[in-house]
């Protein structure tokens, strides 16, 4: 499974990229607004830090303007994935851009039927929002299971399932078990994946036992 981080905070992206575990970045207008940065400058900087796909979303909702914005965004860097909404106009833009060899991330997917349309439009990624479905009492991970099953039935579909609106590590593990290709997670959730109380307890015991030996590794080299 690939890990994308869902943020527009450049410092967070740089820190997580240094772990070697980061495969890409997703942004959206809300995250960019929260950052307070110039959108185009920020996206260009992110693309320099992360070599994998960086999702940058169009702002328009009509076909002509979305297509113009998408082509402009795609020109910022070769690893840009143009993000478009799962609307009729958005899917037309997806088809046009993907036919030009551009990566497209179709976002705001809430049904398996929508995911089929995204794949037929040539999307590189489709982003089902599991957390938002859970919020209204629907089964977000059930949707991931449906989409993964459908995509496996059709080898001609090359769209990757990008699990979005991830709220906790359980979402990540469940998505991986179902065969989802990507999980895009907030920085805090990505860091939670490291944590387990037994790891902390075991490390504390190892450190304490080592200290009892009175040895150091670097100052006790063999001659």
To the query of whether residue 34 is one of the catalytic residues in this protein, the response is: no
- C-alpha distances in angstroms, 169 versus 99, 188, 209? 36, 10, 31
3-state secondary structure 19-82: CCCCCEEECCHHHHHHHCCCHHHHHHHHHHHCCCCEEEECCCCCHHHHHHHHHHHHCCCCCEEE
Taking Cα atoms as reference points, which of 200, 203, 162, 186 lies closest to residue 16? Answer: 186
Taking Cα atoms as reference points, which of 84, 91, 134 lies closest to residue 105? Answer: 84
Phi and psi dihedrals of 54, rounded to 5? -120, 115
Catalytic member of 34, 51, 83, 201: 83
Phi and psi dihedrals of 141, rounded to 5? -70, -25
Q: Which residues are catalytic?
A: 83
């Amino acid at each position: 499974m690939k890990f994308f981080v869902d943020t527009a905070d450049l410092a967070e992206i740089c820190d997580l990229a240094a772990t070697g575990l980061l495969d890409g970045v997703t942004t959206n207008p809300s995250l960019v607004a929260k950052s307070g940065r110039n959108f185009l400058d920020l996206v260009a900087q992110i693309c320099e830090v992360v070599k994998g796909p960086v999702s940058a979303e169009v702002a328009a909702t009509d076909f002509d303007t979305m297509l113009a914005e998408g082509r402009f965004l795609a020109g910022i860097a070769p690893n840009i994935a143009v993000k478009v909404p799962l609307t009729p106009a958005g899917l037309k833009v997806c088809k046009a851009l993907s036919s030009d060899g551009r990566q497209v991330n179709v976002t705001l997917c809430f049904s398996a039927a929508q995911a089929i349309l995204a794949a037929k439009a040539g999307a590189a990624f489709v982003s089902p929002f599991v957390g938002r479905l859970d919020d209204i009492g629907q089964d977000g991970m059930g949707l991931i299971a449906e989409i993964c099953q459908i995509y496996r039935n059709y080898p001609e579909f090359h769209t990757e399932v990008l699990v979005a609106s991830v709220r906790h590590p359980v979402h990540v593990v469940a998505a991986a078990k179902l065969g989802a290709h990507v999980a895009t997670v907030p920085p805090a959730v990505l860091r939670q994946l490291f944590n387990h109380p037994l790891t902390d307890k075991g490390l504390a015991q190892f450190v304490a036992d080592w200290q009892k030996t009175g040895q150091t590794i670097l100052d006790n080299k063999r001659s």
